[in-house]
Structure 1
Amino acid sequence: MGARNVIAMATFSCITLMTGCVIGPDYERPEVEVPEQWRIDYRSASDLTNAKWWQQFNDPVLDGLIETALKENLDIRIAAGRVNQFLGQLNTTRAEFFPQLGAGGGVSRNRISEETFGSTPGSDPYYTQYEAALGASWQLDLFGRVQRQTESVQAQVYASEQGRRGVILSVVTGVTSSYVALRGLDRQLMIAQETELSYKDSVTLFKLRHSYGTVSQLEVDQVESQYQLALAAVPLIEAQIAAQENLISILLGRSPGAIGRGKSLDNMTIVGVPEALPASLLTRRPDIQQAEQNLISANAAVGVAESLYYPDISITGNFGQASADLGDLLDSSAKIWDIGASITAPIFTFGRIEGQIQSAEALRQQAEDRYRFTLLSALKEVNDALVSTDKNAQNYQALKQREKALLSYAKLADMRFENGAASYLEVLYANNELFQAQLDTVSSQIDYYSALIDVYKSMGGGWVDQAVDMVEPVAESSPDASLLMPEWR
C-alpha cells in the first residue's frame, strides 16, 4: 500500500471518528425569576433606548464631547485591546483542529563505531548526512477537547466584546453626567457671584448709612457677614468646576484642562424616560451578556477537564530526501518517508485529573452565581434609577417653589426693614435662606438629570450599538456583529 493511500485512509478514519462524542456538559441558561413590571410605572414613557438619547438635550457641545470620548477614551482602547487578545487566543485554539505542517533540513557529520556488528574492518567510520523533509502532525479531537477549548475561548471573545460595550456605555453616560454637573456648578457659581456683588453693594451702602448715624454698627456687621458668606462660596465652587473639567478631560483622553460650554442647565431639553420591561435586560445590558458568556466559557472548561480521562491520539508523517552526498540529495533514490500514530492515555494519576475537574466545576458554579448576581443587581439598578428619577423630580419641583417663596420673603423683609417695621436680622435670615435655597435648587436639578441618565445606563439598549458604531473598529480580524452578539439560547 502506497504512502498516499495510507494517509488518505487515516484522514478519512479520523474525520469519521471526530463526529463522535463531545465530553462535558452542554450549556443551559440558569433559571432566574424576573418580575413582569418595574416598581414604578411611567405612563408617558417613550421608547428611546434604541436612539442616541443624549442628543435629546439639544446641546451640540455635549454631542461633540461624546463623539470625542468615543474616539479617544483610553478605557475604550484598553477594552478593544482585550478583545484582540482573546481573538488571538481563539485563532490559536482553533488551529488545533487542523494538521500542523512544517519543513526542515540539516547536515550532520557522524562517526560510527568500528566495533559494532556489521562494520567492515578498514572502512572509513566518518560520513556526512544531508536531509530535507516536510513533516505533518495531527492530534485527533476524538473526545471534543479542542472543541470545548474553542467553545470556552470563543465565549471569552464574546465576553470581552460585551465588556467593551459596557465601557462604551459607561463613557457615554459618564461624559453626559459630568457635563450636566459642570453646567450646574456654572449656575451655582453665577448665583454666588451675583449674591456676592449684591452684598458688596449693601456693605458699601450700610457703611455710608452708619457714617450718617441711620444704622448701627451691628447692622453693618450683619451685612458684612452676608457678604463674606457669599464670597467664601465662590472659591469652593470654582474648585469643584476645575475638578469636574479635569474629570471630563480624562474621559476625553486628554490632559486636564478647560472644557467648552454649550447650553445652560435651564435651557437643556429634558429627555424622556425609556420604556422597557425587566426581561429585556437580558439582551440589553452588556454586563449581563458578559456574565453569561463567562458562564458559557466556564461550562466548556469543565468539558476540557473531563476530556483528560480519555486518550490522546496523534498522527505524524514525514516526506523528504536524505543523502550522504549533497549532489545526490535530489535523486529519486534519496527519498525517505514515514508515517505513524501514537496514543497516550492516563491510568493512575492519583487525583490529578479529579482535582482539575473539581476546580473547573467550582469555577463554573462561581460564574453561574455571578451571572445571577449580575442580573439581580441590574434589576435593582433600574428600579433605583426609576424611583430616583421620580422622587428627584418631586424634590426639584418642591425646591423651586421654596426658592420662589423665599425670594418673595426676602423682598418683603427688605421692604419692612426700609420702612422701619423690622430689624435687619429678619432681612439677614431671609437672604441667607434664599441664597442656600438657590444653590439647593440647582443641586436638585443636577440630581434629577443624573437620575434620568442613570435610567439609560441601567437599562442598556440599542443606543449602545449606535455608540459602538461611532468607535474605531477593534481590528480587521474582529468577528462581525452577529458573532459578537450571539443568539440567546
Structure 2
Amino acid sequence: MSFLPGTGRIMSATLILALSSCSMAPAYKPPAMASTASFKEAPGWQPARPADDVAKGEWWKLFADPVLDGLEAKVAASNQNVAAFAAAYAQARAAVRETRASLFPSVDLSAGGTRAGTFGNGTTTIIGSNGTTSSSGSGSRRYSVNLGATWEPDVFGRISSGLRQQKALAQASEGDLLNATLAAQGELASNYVQLRGLDQQKIVYQETIAAYERALKITSNRYDQGQVARVDVLQAQTQLANARATSADIDRQRAAFEHAIAVLIGESPSSFALPAAPWSRAVPDVPGILPGTVLERRPDIAAAERRVAAANQGIGVERAAFFPTFGLTGDIGTQTSRLGSLFTAASSIWSLGVTSALTLLDFGARSARVAQARASFDQAAANYRQTTLTAVQQVEDELAATRVLRTVAEQRSAAATAANRVEQLTQNQYLSGLIVYTDVITAQATALNARQQAIQATVDRQVSAITLVQAIGGAWPTPAP
C-alpha cells in the first residue's frame, strides 16, 4: 500500500511533535506551610515504637478489647459510607484509564451490504471492474468492509495534562476513602467505649438502688416504731424513685449507642445486639509524632494536596487551548458487488489524511477559562492550608484534653472515694440518732454523683485518646531499622 505524496513526511513530523509534547501546566510545588519543632501542648511528645499490629493501622488494639477488635474488622468491609467512598475511588480510577486511552489511536471496523433495484420493468445498469456493462431487472448488490483509525497527537500536552489531573483526582479520592474509613473506625470506637461506660453506670445504679431499698426499709421500720417522722420515709421513697428513673434512662442511652454501632458495621439495628461486658478502664498511651509528620499521615491533608496538584494540571489543560490541535485519520476497506470477491485486491481502497484546527477569535473565552483554572488552583491551595491548620489545631486540642483529663480523672476518683466514705458515716450517724435524714439524702446524692463523675472521667479519657489517634492520622509508620 502506498501513501499520498508528502503524507509520510507529515505523519513523521506530527509523530515527532507528539512524542516530544510539552506541558502547559506550571511547575508544581505543594503550598508551603509553616512548621514547628514540637506541639505546644506536649513539647516532650516524641515518636515512640508501637506494637506491630498498631503500626499497620489497627490502632484500636491499643485498648486490648477483643469485642472491639471484632467490630472494627467489619467497618472497612460493611460500612455503607465507606462503600460509597470506595465506589467513588473506583470511578476515579476508571476515569484515569479513560483519559489514558485518549493518548492512543482509536480503531473502528464497519461492514455493510445493500441491494438496489427499480420497480416494474425498469433495469439497473451495473459497471464491472473491467469496464463492461450489464443490465439487470432484479437489482444490484454491494458489499463493503472498512477499517478506520483516528488519532489526535498530544503535541501541546493537553491530553497528558488531563491525564495527570485525573491521576491526582484519583489519589485525592483514595485519600477521601481512607479518611472516611478512619472516621468510621473512630466513631465506632468512641461509641463502644461510651456504651461500656454506660454498662458500668448501670452496675453503679443497680447497687445504688439496692442500697436505697435497704435504706427505705430501715426508715420505714423506724417510722413504724415511732422513732422518725413520716417525712423521712417520703424522702427515702423519692430518692429511690429518682434512682430507678435514671437507671431506666441509662437503658435508653445504651440502646442509642448500640443502634449506632450496628449501622457503623453495616448491620440492621433491629437484629444487632451487644451484650453487656466488663468495663476496661485502660486508657492507652498514644505514640507521639512530630508536627511536620501530621502533613504526611493525615488522609484528608493528602487528599487536599492532591486536589491542588489536579488544579495545577487544569491550568495546563486550559492553556493548551491557545495552540492548534492535529488529527490523523486512516481508512482501508473493500467494496464489491459479489460477496466472494470482497477481499480481492481489485476491490480494495484506502485513504489517509491529516487535519489541524485552531481557534483564531473567541473574544477572550480561552483567557477566561485559564483565569478560572488559576482561581480554582488558588481555592484548592487555600483549602489545603486550612485543612492543615485545622489538623494541627485538632492535635493540639486533644493533647491538651489528654493532659487535663488525666488530672480530672484522678481527682474524680479521689472525690468518689471520699464521698462513699461520707455516705457510710452519715448512715451510721442517722441510725444513732445524731443527724436528720436530710443529711443522709444529701450524702447519698453526693456519693452517687461522684461515682458517676469518676466513671465519666475515665470514659472521657478513652474518647480523647481515640480522637487523638484520629487527629494524627490513625496509624504509625513502621520504625526504620
Instruction: Please report the TM-score for the alignment, with normalisation by the length of structure 2.
Output: 0.89
Does 1:249 pair with 2:259? no
What's 1:310 paired with?
323
Inter-partner Cα distance in structure 1 for 2:273 and 2:476: 28
What's 1:59 paired with?
65
Deviates more, 1:166-175 or 1:322-331: 322-331
The amino acid that maps onto 1:149 is G
The amino acid that maps onto 1:362 is A
Identity within the alignment, %: 28
Contact 1:62–1:262, Cα closer than 8 Å, also in 2: no
Q: CA deviation at 1:69?
A: 2.0
Q: CA deviation at 1:260?
A: 4.0
In structure 2, the gaps of 5 or more residues are: 119-131
Does 1:50 pair with 2:55? yes
Within a 5 Å distance, the mapping from 1:129-168 to structure 2 comes to: 129-168=142-181
What's 2:128 paired with?
none
What's 1:84 paired with?
90
Contact 1:169–1:464, Cα closer than 8 Å, also in 2: no
Contact 1:61–1:261, Cα closer than 8 Å, also in 2: no
Q: CA deviation at 1:144?
A: 0.3
Deviates more, 1:428-437 or 1:19-28: 19-28
Q: CA deviation at 1:386?
A: 0.7
* 1:97 match: secondary structure: coil
Deviates more, 1:202-211 or 1:442-451: 202-211
What's 1:116 paired with?
none
Does 1:33 pair with 2:34? yes
* 2:152 match: secondary structure: strand
What's 2:125 paired with?
none
What's 1:22 paired with?
23
Does 1:404 pair with 2:405? no
The amino acid that maps onto 1:294 is R
The amino acid that maps onto 1:31 is A
Q: 452, 472, 476: which one pairs with 1:439?
A: 452
1:335-391 deviations in whole A, cap 9, x for unaligned? Answer: 100000100100111222222222222211111100000000000000011111111
Inter-partner Cα distance in structure 2 for 1:121 and 1:62: 89
Q: CA deviation at 1:5?
A: 10
Inter-partner Cα distance in structure 2 for 1:329 and 1:122: 20
Deviates more, 1:311-320 or 1:121-130: 121-130
What's 1:424 paired with?
437
Inter-partner Cα distance in structure 2 for 1:171 and 1:397: 30
What's 1:340 paired with?
353
| Compared CA separation, residues 429 and 287, structure 1 to 2 (3 A) | same
In structure 1, the gaps of 5 or more residues are: 113-119, 466-489
What's 1:380 paired with?
393
Q: 107, 115, 126: which one pairs with 2:113?
A: 107
Q: 301, 311, 327: which one pairs with 1:298?
A: 311
Contact 1:59–1:262, Cα closer than 8 Å, also in 2: no
Inter-partner Cα distance in structure 2 for 1:121 and 1:8: 38
Inter-partner Cα distance in structure 2 for 1:296 and 1:444: 44
* 2:326 match: secondary structure: strand
What's 2:298 paired with?
285
* 1:270 match: secondary structure: coil
Does 1:209 pair with 2:222? yes
Inter-partner Cα distance in structure 1 for 2:432 and 2:277: 44
1:224-255 deviations in whole A, cap 9, x for unaligned? Answer: 12111211101111000000000111111000
Inter-partner Cα distance in structure 2 for 1:278 and 1:372: 14
Inter-partner Cα distance in structure 1 for 2:351 and 2:208: 94
* 2:24 match: secondary structure: coil
Does 1:258 pair with 2:263? no
| Compared CA separation, residues 12 and 56, structure 1 to 2 (3 A) | same
Instruction: Please report the TM-score for the alignment, with normalisation by the length of structure 1.
Output: 0.88
Q: CA deviation at 1:54?
A: 1.7
RMSD between superposed Cα atoms in Å: 2.6
Inter-partner Cα distance in structure 2 for 1:246 and 1:131: 66
